[in-house]
Amino acid sequence: MTSRELRVLYESIIKPFGHPDPMGFMTRALIMTEGDPDYIGMDGKRGFMPVDPTRALEEVGVSDVQSLQGNVIAALTMDRMLFESYRTINDMIIAFHFDIGDEETWNSQPKYKAFIKDVDDSRADARLMIYPPRATVKDVISLVSGSDADERLDTKELNFFKRLMRG
């Protein structure tokens, strides 16, 4: 998905849904599938946020987890139910992605801790994918002033930026 498509999904569905960790939701999806709504894992999980179709049907009544809409609705609903059960975001994340028993929590095994750390460490990158920074004046100047600007810009673009810089 493009940055624009990710932003539309985030702002129109995920944030309004009232997810307890909306940016974490996006981060997990980007870690697991790189934002590919057509993802199919070796374990049978499918969609933008990998969901087991059988589990989604049993837990939330969603039968289509391959379509973006069905997948996101199932995953958001499952997250909310898990958050209500476990009461912490980290436990919700682990319960969603791993088959754990009631006695286990996110800090009970190294693989769970590593996954939580990966999600936390990747949040800034996910935010940049959803909200890419705009070019600054310094970016434009360095592009136009760079020795290889002629190779990166066509003549029309280069002339435009040169006129812009001259005022």
What residues does each domain of the chain span?
A: 3-130, 137-166
Give the pLDDT of residue 15: 94
Contact status, residue 54 vs residue 35, Cβ threshold 8 Å:
no
User: Which three-class secondary structure state does DSSP give residue 51?
Assistant: strand
Would you state the structure tokens that stand for residue 156, as one six-digit string?
A: 């029309």
Contact status, residue 10 vs residue 29, Cβ threshold 8 Å:
no
Would you state the structure tokens that stand for residue 65, as one six-digit string?
A: 């987890």
Give the pLDDT of residue 103: 66
- Tens of pLDDT along 107-157? 778 889 999 999 999 999 999 999 988 777 677 667 666 655 556 667 777
Under the banding of pLDDT at 50, 70 and 90, the label for residue 167 is low
Quickly list H helices, 18-148.
Answer: 22-33, 53-60, 68-86, 89-97, 110-130, 137-145
Give the pLDDT of residue 128: 92
- Tens of pLDDT along 24-64? 999 999 999 999 999 999 999 999 999 999 999 999 999 99
In this prediction the pTM is: 0.77
